[in-house]
Amino acid sequence: MGKFVKQLSDTQQLWSLGWKLEFRTGNTEYVVTSFGRHMEVTETFVFPADSNGKIISWTELPGSFRGDLDHKKAIRDLELNYLGDGYETT
């Protein structure tokens, strides 16, 4: 599973994936997970980031989901989406 790097704020964490993630406008090995509540809906988001935790694209990545506030679930789901079921995420 991705490696937690640091807490960026009360709602944001920086993660190192250990593999190159390719997205629509580039690639990176880092993502920021962020959660919040909007109109009674809880959401956890995943965004591509640089090694300092600066979000480099506001396009939500697979792994973003509604219904809970869970950084680890978002990282697991991101890895399953990109790497498949055969990838060990424990």
Average pLDDT of the residues of the chain: 91
81, two tokens: 């989406």
pLDDT of the residue at 89? 42
Global pTM reads 0.88
> For a pLDDT cut of 70, what percent of the chain falls above it?
93
d(CA 24, CA 14): 20
Please report, in tens digits, the pLDDT of each residue of the chain (90 residues total): 799 999 999 999 999 999 999 988 899 999 999 999 888 899 999 999 999 999 999 999 999 999 999 999 999 999 999 888 655 444
Give the model's pLDDT for residue 85: 63
Rounded distance between C-alpha atoms, residue 90 and residue 1, angstroms: 6
- Domain spans of the chain, in order of start: 3-83
